[in-house]
Structure 1
Amino acid sequence: MDDDRLLPAEPGVRAIARELYRHAKDLPLISPHGHVDPAILADDRPFPDPARLIVVPDHYVTRMLASQGVPPAALGVLAVDGTPVETDGRTIWRLLAERWHLFRGTPSRLWIERVLADVFGVGVPLGPATADAVYDAVAERLAGPDFRPRALFERFNLEVLATTESPLSDLGQHAKLAADGWGGPGGRVITTFRPDDLVDLDWPGWAERIDRFGAATFAQFLDRLRQRRYDFIAAGATSSDHGHPTAATLALPPAEAATIFGRALRGRAEPGDAERFRAHMLVEFARMSVDDGLVMQLHPGAVRDHNTALFARHGRDVGGDIPSPTEYVRSLRPLLDEFGTDPRFRIVLYTLDETTFTRELAPLAGGYPAVFLGAPWWFLDSPEGLRRFREAVTETAGFYNTAGFVDDTRAFCSIPVRHDVARRVDAGFLARLVAEHRLPLDEAAETIADLAYHLPKRVYRRTVRNGATG
């Protein structure tokens, strides 16, 4: 019965879902947005111990444990303030196993259980009594050549994996991948242009980073960004990504944008400058996308580093962020007025505020040919979140104004598991449409294959080695 996990409980609908899932199950994985360190694949070294692979880098896991009083330092999370952290993988693993009950009903439990079973072939349930046995079994497999990163990449049936880098990156790992035949345009591991650290005036150290970037004026800043985008395209990039606090866009007069930039460089930014500058830069980046073809992704709505103590001790991206209500209709209008119907422009919208799916995002995707809806992301990346997404947007936006599934993960070994969850959820949703005589079975089969594979290739302009667009 485990083969029916996440499929509908009603026997007749489940039988249809089984048939539909079969059409998507073995399709290659397209991972057009994520945060896997490219060095993992460039160096192809054996993974470290199970804890450093599965626990330490996964802020879904460390966040839950921190909420129950286990400090991240005890889980091996690097501290930026010099606090000693646990370095023994077995000790970290035991902490997870002793508190495994905390993850009941969460996607983290589902992902980890499937990673243990499907990737490592460990069928023993995790818990306090089995912690060492599970740890030893995973560690034994990690020592073998079949569990090196590139071997797993092959086994996962990954066609393409996109990482995410700042314009300040020298893209050295991607150059190494390209030299090995893994990277570059049409390659299997590609980069994504993520300029947040250069456009967010509120991000500590912004002026120093601009100095490193080599831009003394706003005009130089724009020129350097354009140049770097082409460097990223040469490293395989097909998209940019923008993680802003809001979805605000604004077309400022060039002189006003230059004035804000200059004030910030002198350390004299005024209230409101940061939001106006970010909003203006989204329009500038849309203009660049029209010129160079990069698909634009927008990930707004996270209040970063809400947990001040966690940020002070461990820095960014360790689980201290909180979703916030996000407005799209008025916020995006300046950008969409200029580019929303331009056939050269494409933007994929994500949200952490699922109340906007039906009210704002689905109508926007149904009203502008440039707009596509990204999969449920971060706090919404769960079986129930994926179901609610399909229920909320399909009637207005259909299936083909969505962009397929993205895993958005740092946890390399969870990639196939996350995609499998999405495919099972879509099989269940489509099966209900078939059972209710709202969609023929053959069209549902075609649709699930599109959602799993063809749509993300098309939306993200994935190009294969021979130059043909997928």
Structure 2
Amino acid sequence: MNVQRLTLHPDRLFPSDPVVRDIARRLYQQIKDLPIVSPHGHTDPSWFADNANWDNATSLLLLPDHYVFRMLYSQGITLEELGIHREDGVAVESDYRKIFQIFAKHYHLFRGTPSRLWLDSVFHDVFGFTKMLCEDTANHYYDSINAQLAKPEFKPRALLERFNIELIATTEGALNDLKHHAALKGSGFETRVITTFRPDDVIDADREDFVRNIAKLAELTGEDTQNWQGYLAALRKRRAVFREHGATATDHGHPTAFTADLTMNDAAALYQRCISGKASATEKELFRGQMLTEMAGMSLEDGMTMQIHPGAHRNHNKVIFDRFGPDKGADIPSATEYVQALKPLLHKYGNEAKLNIILFTLDETTYARELAPLAGHYPALKLGPAWWFHDSPEGMLRFRHQVTETAGFYNTVGFNDDTRAFLSIPARHDVARRIDCRFLAGLVAEHRLTEEEAGELAYELTSGLVKKAYQLK
């Protein structure tokens, strides 16, 4: 058995040039141990409310991680073999050890990917492995991880402390009862684990459950959501409830960045067409655009930071969607236009310095041409970090290279991990810190920044900007 050692090189992700590498090392030493602020993610709040031990390596590390099973599926391994639940109830593999063995046998597929960086860090730093994951070490990994997960120090709240996570935000739909966040009240963790308001379920008229959701919104709020003003009042009430559970931000995962600013009468008439089920595809897109502008107005009222995450062609693989439902790794980046799309919203609210709108993109061609110039001008706009498919060393560098000259550093918002994979959060933030120090070191080496300035920026990119953008104390 020729098993490779698992080592994490201390200079990983730093530049090969020795002069620049030395500067990057010095900058990294200043910020590497700062507390983690995770302002946008998708971890399960029940983990922190219940504080129960996880019981299985496969269900924790593999099944929720679409980065993992997406790659395996691309190489001909079926999702049934990986134990992914089917919508029609057809039996899938339920032997978690066998699933983990499949993953280990194909671990080489992740060479060169950010998933490999994150997973190696988890295996080495969290679980203490010194041999590489492979077919021969699969059972050792599986048994050791399960044994460690049963220990008190692996309870979710204990890991928050171990990982030095100062704050983590989850993301819940507008109709969520927030019971897990409510259960955290009085625990001391209610200010460390907060929610985020994601109203797509009651805004996107393309959803099959949209009309039912509007009825549920009425039940939750006591407002008459069959009329436009009642609907807006109900949304304001739900935002207030989320605020009571710690939310400082909203999140909007629209197909495009399209916005609109209709008259009150036109908006009311459009809403009636949507809740009657008679709206065309064009009208549904117009409604989504109107609601982005409405949400911006509400953010100006209540102070919540607004995140716009457009540009994902969701559920591209219809066969996978029909069998397994949404969020199963078949979402694909698509071209996204911002300058004309955001103009109605920005005409109305873009000059409001008290409004915080964070723009994300999956279309890297817009960085220098559209997003940086917009954020470099409008007081309300900031740029989110390289996201999802571009949450990678090269993706982060492309973002910094294309955005910084026009938008600067201070119109960006640091890093967020946007993950369901809780154990990988320290690794993801470490990658971002190393890449930012690498980029800053290049500017110092070229005498475009002093090293003192770069040190200040390293702190801001790690902690200061994210707290300001998300209004975190």
TM-score by structure 2 length? 0.96
1:177, CA displacement in angstroms?
A: 1.0
Aligned to 1:431: 441
CA contact (8 A) 2:174 2:200 kept: no
Aligned to 2:381: 371
1:28, CA displacement in angstroms?
A: 0.5
AA matched with 2:232:
L
2 CA distance for matches of 1:85 and 1:36?
Answer: 24
Aligned to 1:467: none
1:251, CA displacement in angstroms?
A: 0.5
Q: Does 1:165 align with 2:172?
A: yes
1 CA distance for matches of 2:130 and 2:288?
Answer: 48
* 1:52-91 matches, cutoff 5 A: 52-91=59-98
Identify which of 267, 283, 291 aligns with 1:281.
Answer: 291
1 CA distance for matches of 2:287 and 2:102?
Answer: 44
Report Cα offsets for 1:401-452 as digits up to 9, x if no partner.
Answer: 1001000000000111000000000111111111111110111011001100
1:172, CA displacement in angstroms?
A: 0.5
Aligned length: 460
Identify which of 310, 322, 325 aligns with 1:312.
Answer: 322
1 CA distance for matches of 2:154 and 2:19?
Answer: 39
AA matched with 2:215:
D
* 1:213-232 matches, cutoff 5 A: 213-214=217-218, 215-232=225-242
Aligned to 2:247: 237
Q: Does 1:121 align with 2:128?
A: yes
AA matched with 1:238:
T
Q: Which moved more, 1:318-327 or 1:77-86?
A: 77-86
Aligned to 1:338: 348
CA contact (8 A) 1:83 1:313 kept: no
1:297, CA displacement in angstroms?
A: 0.3
Q: Does 1:7 align with 2:11?
A: no
1:397, CA displacement in angstroms?
A: 0.8
Aligned to 2:256: 246
AA matched with 2:159:
L
Q: Does 1:104 align with 2:108?
A: no
Aligned to 2:410: 400
CA contact (8 A) 1:305 1:316 kept: yes
CA contact (8 A) 1:301 1:326 kept: yes
Q: 3-state SS of the aligned residue for 2:136?
A: coil
Identify which of 200, 204, 216 aligns with 1:212.
Answer: 216
AA matched with 1:332:
L
1:209, CA displacement in angstroms?
A: 1.0
* 1:410-425 matches, cutoff 5 A: 410-425=420-435
Report Cα offsets for 1:150-189 as digits up to 9, x if no partner.
Answer: 1111111001100001110111100011231211xxx000
2 CA distance for matches of 1:158 and 1:343?
Answer: 30
CA contact (8 A) 1:122 1:137 kept: no
Gaps of 5+ in 2: 1-7, 219-224
1 CA distance for matches of 2:144 and 2:131?
Answer: 10
Q: 3-state SS of the aligned residue for 1:5?
A: coil
Identify which of 188, 196, 211 aligns with 1:192.
Answer: 196
1:140, CA displacement in angstroms?
A: 1.5
Report Cα offsets for 1:84-123 as digits up to 9, x if no partner.
Answer: 1222221111111111111111111111111111111112
AA matched with 1:196:
D
1:264, CA displacement in angstroms?
A: 2.2
Q: 3-state SS of the aligned residue for 1:229?
A: helix
2 CA distance for matches of 1:387 and 1:75?
Answer: 33
Q: 3-state SS of the aligned residue for 2:197?
A: coil
Coordinate RMSD, CA, aligned:
1.0
CA contact (8 A) 1:117 1:123 kept: yes
* 1:129-168 matches, cutoff 5 A: 129-168=136-175
AA matched with 1:65:
L
Identify which of 171, 181, 205 aligns with 1:201.
Answer: 205
AA matched with 2:366:
T
AA matched with 1:74:
E
TM-score by structure 1 length? 0.96
2 CA distance for matches of 1:33 and 1:345?
Answer: 18
2 CA distance for matches of 1:318 and 1:255?
Answer: 40
AA matched with 2:407:
A
Aligned to 2:183: 176
Q: Which moved more, 1:71-80 or 1:201-210?
A: 71-80
2 CA distance for matches of 1:253 and 1:156?
Answer: 49
2 CA distance for matches of 1:317 and 1:363?
Answer: 32
CA contact (8 A) 2:51 2:156 kept: yes
Gaps of 5+ in 1: 464-470
Aligned to 2:40: 33
CA contact (8 A) 2:334 2:363 kept: yes
Report Cα offsets for 1:139-158 as digits up to 9, x if no partner.
Answer: 12111111111111111100
Q: 3-state SS of the aligned residue for 1:2?
A: coil
4+ residue segments displaced more than 6 Å? none
2 CA distance for matches of 1:254 and 1:65?
Answer: 50
CA contact (8 A) 1:73 1:83 kept: no
1:225, CA displacement in angstroms?
A: 0.3
1 CA distance for matches of 2:178 and 2:279?
Answer: 31
* % same residue: 53
Q: Which moved more, 1:160-169 or 1:118-127?
A: 118-127
2 CA distance for matches of 1:421 and 1:237?
Answer: 27
1 CA distance for matches of 2:281 and 2:180?
Answer: 39
Aligned to 2:468: 458
1:260, CA displacement in angstroms?
A: 2.1
Aligned to 1:16: 23
Report Cα offsets for 1:17-68 as digits up to 9, x if no partner.
Answer: 0000011100011100000010011111111211111110000101111111
